[in-house]
Amino acid sequence: MQPMALRVFFSLLALTLFGACTAPGPDPLACDSSALATALSQSIRAKDQSGFEANFARSTVGQRLAKQWFNNLTELNDVSFAALPGGDKLKVTWSVEGSRQPSVHTIAPRMVRVGERTLIMELFDAENPPIWIYGQITVSNNKVGTLIASERVSDDQAKVWVKRMAAAVVAIQKVKMGDLNADWNQQLVVELPRDTHEYQRLVNMDPVISSAATECESGAIRIVINPASLEVPDQVGEALMLHEAVHASTSSPCLDTGALWASEGLAEWVTASQYKSTATSNQTIVETYLVRHGVPASLPVDAAFAGDKDDVAAAYALSQFAVQVAVDKLGEEEALAVVGKLSRSKDGAAPEMLSDLTSWYQAALKKLSK
Based on CB atoms, which residue is closest to Zn ion, 111 or 286? 286
Binding segment (CB under 5 A) for Zn ion, from list 185-193, 225-233, 262-270, 352-360: 262-270
Rounded alpha-carbon distances, angstroms, from residue 70 to 47, 59, 73, 135? 8, 16, 5, 12
Based on CB atoms, which residue is closest to Zn ion, 150 or 263? 263
Is 304 a binding residue for Zn ion by CB under 5 A? The answer is no
Is 240 a binding residue for Zn ion by CB under 5 A? The answer is no
Identify the H or E element spanning 184: none
In sequence order, what are the beta bridge partners of 223? 190, 214
Is 220 a binding residue for Zn ion by CB under 5 A? The answer is no
Which residues neighbour 170 within 8 Å (Cβ) at sequence distance 6 or greater? none
Q: How far is the CB of 195 from Zn ion (least distance, A)?
A: 22
Q: How far is the CB of 139 from Zn ion (least distance, A)?
A: 25
32-52 burial by CB neighbour count: b if 16+ within 10 A, else e? Answer: bbbebbbbbbebbeeeeeeeb
Q: How far is the CB of 33 from Zn ion (least distance, A)?
A: 38
Size of the site for Zn ion (CB under 5 A): 2
Closest CA to 252 of 290, 276, 221: 221
Q: How far is the CB of 327 from Zn ion (least distance, A)?
A: 18
| Burial zone of 160 (CB within 10 Å; 0-12 exposed, 13-18 middle, 19+ buried) | middle
Is 260 a binding residue for Zn ion by CB under 5 A? The answer is no
- Classify strands 188-192 and 220-225 as parallel, antiparallel or unpaired: parallel
CA 146 vs. chain centroid, Å, equals: 14
Based on CB atoms, which residue is closest to Zn ion, 35 or 205? 205
**Contacts (CB under 5 A) with Zn ion, residues 264-283:** 264, 267
Binding segment (CB under 5 A) for Zn ion, from list 156-164, 261-269, 342-350, 358-366: 261-269
Based on CB atoms, which residue is closest to Zn ion, 63 or 235? 235
Is 92 a binding residue for Zn ion by CB under 5 A? The answer is no
Q: How far is the CB of 247 from Zn ion (least distance, A)?
A: 5
Residues forming the site for Zn ion (CB under 5 A):
264, 267
